[in-house]
Amino acid sequence: MKILVINGPNINMLGIREKNIYGDNDYNSLCEMIRKEAHKLGCKVDFFQSNIEGEIITEIQKTIGVYDGIIINPAAYTHYSIGILDALKSVDVPAIEVHISNIHKREDFRKKSVTAEGCVGQISGLGFYGYILALRGLINLK
């Protein structure tokens, strides 16, 4: 099984930005944690991070015939990107949306996810472990 992990804007700033919300661990430690778990589970993971909406859309489109699942944290694009939603809906690749923080306990504008409609599920508020649950969830779907 091959999974693509997509992270949106400012996820590359983990460990630097808003540590009270996102913690002290950086983006590389997030990727390494996912990579180790994937290895244990016998699947392959690739990573993509971009601060640019169009690049994320293009990467989703490239998953057709290449990946068995997508783990996506659209970050700020969660709340308004119809383009990412349409890309998720246009590929026949199951996706799980992940958020490090609990978006439902934050500002009102963060409580609505337009991109979740294009996913088989959403995990929110469990920190980095949410990505592990998403990985296991995608494996469980197959």
User: One-letter amino acid identity for 14?
Assistant: L
Name the β-bridge partners of 138.
none
Predicted TM-score of the model (pTM): 0.93
| Burial label, 39 (beta-carbon count in 10 A; 0-12, 13-18, 19+) | exposed
Label residue 108 by pLDDT band (50, 70, 90). Answer: confident
Query: How far apart, in whole angstroms, are the C-alpha atoms of residue 14 and residue 39?
Result: 23
CATH of residue 50: 3.40.50.9100
Catalytic site includes residue 22: yes
Give residue-wise pLDDT tens across range 41-92.
999 999 999 999 999 999 999 999 999 999 999 999 999 999 999 999 999 9
Q: How many domains does the chain have?
A: 1
Q: Which of the residues 27, 67, 77, 99 is marked catalytic?
A: 99
Q: Which of the residues 22, 67, 77, 131 is marked catalytic?
A: 22
Catalytic site includes residue 104: no
Domain containing 6: what range?
Answer: 2-64+72-141
